[in-house]
Amino acid sequence: MKFYLNNSQFIDTNLPLDMSIPLSNTAENPRAWYVDLPVFEPVMENGFVGSVAKGGSVNFRNIYFNPHGHGTHTECLGHITPEVYSVNNSMKNYFFIAKVITIEPTIQINLNDQKEDRIILKEDLIAALKGETCEALVLRTSPNDLQKKHINYTQSNPVYLHVDCVDVLNQAGVKHFLLDLPSVDREEDGGALLFHHAFWQVPGNLQFDKTITEMIFVDNAILDGNYILEMQIAPFENDASPSRPVLYEIFG
């Protein structure tokens, strides 16, 4: 179905570009932060069998997972506040003007532990944005391959963003930041979470309407440029929830 944005430009909802990674209970499922694989198990209580394959009448499974560690998820400032704030209250609209950019990280030696870090720097972000503004920004890191959908990021020191990048996002008007990494911050940073705090301005000036979506996958067939983004988020009353961000190409 075509939806016109103005007299000439439109999107086709029959051509979605899904950036989410499916949640499964197999070794193919990505994970981070030392969590084990998700668990899908049939309810087996008081003679009830929640598995058709095991003789039950229906499949009725409990699912155990962590939204931060097991795949595509969207989080709000409640991720780093003592108060309980829910991502379910962070959005009043679900469609946004979005920009997709691709950046190859810069390699630097971390002075604290002498590890080789791969970092997205402020100047990289400035060059990729080219002075443009957007409500939502989708960051694809390079190199990019299908293995990103299956990585165990634990103790791998993944790519992260320098805290100075937040200034660039603010200047560009970004409210919703999406990336194909397990976190905007370094895996081992002593709990500082500098980017998270700067983005949500915690504790000084809380930004309730901003979100971060991590562990997406942006297929190489999706070119850098402007899109319409639909944010589909499971209505969990939690600081983070599994999500399905979908892009629509703008025609015309």
CATH number of the domain where residue 195 is located: 3.50.30.50
Residue 242 lies in a domain: yes
Q: Give, for all 252 residues of the chain, the pLDDT tens digit.
A: 998 999 999 999 999 999 999 999 999 999 999 999 999 999 999 999 999 999 999 999 999 999 999 999 999 999 999 999 999 999 999 999 999 999 999 999 998 899 999 999 999 999 999 999 999 999 999 999 999 999 999 999 999 999 999 999 999 999 999 999 999 999 999 999 999 999 999 999 999 999 999 999 999 999 999 999 999 999 999 999 999 999 999 999
Looking at residue 70, what is its pLDDT?
Answer: 98
The residue type found at 180 is: D
Long-range contacts of 59-66 (CB under 8 A, 24+ apart): 63/23, 63/25, 63/38, 63/39, 64/38, 64/39, 65/23, 65/38, 65/39, 65/242, 66/33, 66/35
The answer to whether position 196 is within a domain reads yes
Return the pLDDT at 112: 87
Do the domain assignments include residue 128?
A: yes
Whole-angstrom distance, CA of residue 17 vs CA of residue 45:
41
- Is residue 214 within 8 A of residue 73, CB to CB? The reply is yes
- Asked if the structure places residue 61 within a domain, the reply is no
Which range marks the domain in which residue 238 is found?
2-21+71-249
Domain membership flag for residue 153: yes
Is 64 inside any structural domain?
no
- Is residue 155 in some structural domain? yes
Between β-strands 176-179 and 136-141, what pairing exists: parallel, antiparallel or unpaired?
Answer: parallel
- Assigned domain for 65 exists: no
> Got the DSSP string for 16-28?
-EE------SSTT
Domains in the chain, number: 1
pLDDT, position 3:
87
**What is the spatial distance between Cα 30 and Cα 22, in angstroms, rounded to a whole number?**
9
